[in-house]
């Protein structure tokens, strides 16, 4: 690959697509480095033109049978919540709804002078 061509392509990508910055985060950059065999420091958490070029290179290679696709359906790539976490979320939501109903009932009763105000 011609280094001058690669550099000009990076500058063109920078101009077209990176006026706004896309934040990957520390884990996102780590995953990007691992999957694309890059060595970009993890403190750099923004998407770079070389990330796009490496991704395109990998996709082209996969089209020609080089490399293997990631298994996105593997359990290690899933966020698993325990039943206790799910119940806690639902119970918290139910309490918030109950609070809103009680507040509405009390405010309505005060407005209609059913409950004396201090």
54 plus 91 within the same structural domain: no
- Residue 10 located in a structural domain: yes
Question: Among the residues of the chain, which ranges form H helices?
Answer: 3-17, 25-36, 49-63, 83-111
Residue pair 42/30 in contact by the 8 Å Cβ criterion: yes
Task: Provide the pLDDT for residue 99.
Answer: 92
* Parent domain of 32: 3-63
pTM score over 0.85: no
- Residue 90 located in a structural domain: yes
58 plus 93 within the same structural domain: no
pLDDT at 17 over 80: no
> Percent of the chain beyond pLDDT 90?
5
- Residue 87 located in a structural domain: yes
Number of domains into which the chain is organized: 2
10 plus 56 within the same structural domain: yes
pLDDT 10s digits, 46-104: 887 788 888 888 888 888 888 777 766 666 666 667 778 888 888 889 999 999 999 98
């Amino acid at each position: 690959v011609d280094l001058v061509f690669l550099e000009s392509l990076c500058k063109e990508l920078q101009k077209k697509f990176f006026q706004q910055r896309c934040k990957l985060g520390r884990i996102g950059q780590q995953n990007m480095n691992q999957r694309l065999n890059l060595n970009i420091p993890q403190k750099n958490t923004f998407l770079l033109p070389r990330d796009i070029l490496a991704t395109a290179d990998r996709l082209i290679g996969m089209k020609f049978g080089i490399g293997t696709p990631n298994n996105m359906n593997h359990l290690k790539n899933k966020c698993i919540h325990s039943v206790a976490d799910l119940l806690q979320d639902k119970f918290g939501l139910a309490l918030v709804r109950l609070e809103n109903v009680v507040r509405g009932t009390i405010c309505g009763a005060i407005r209609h002078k059913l409950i004396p105000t201090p």
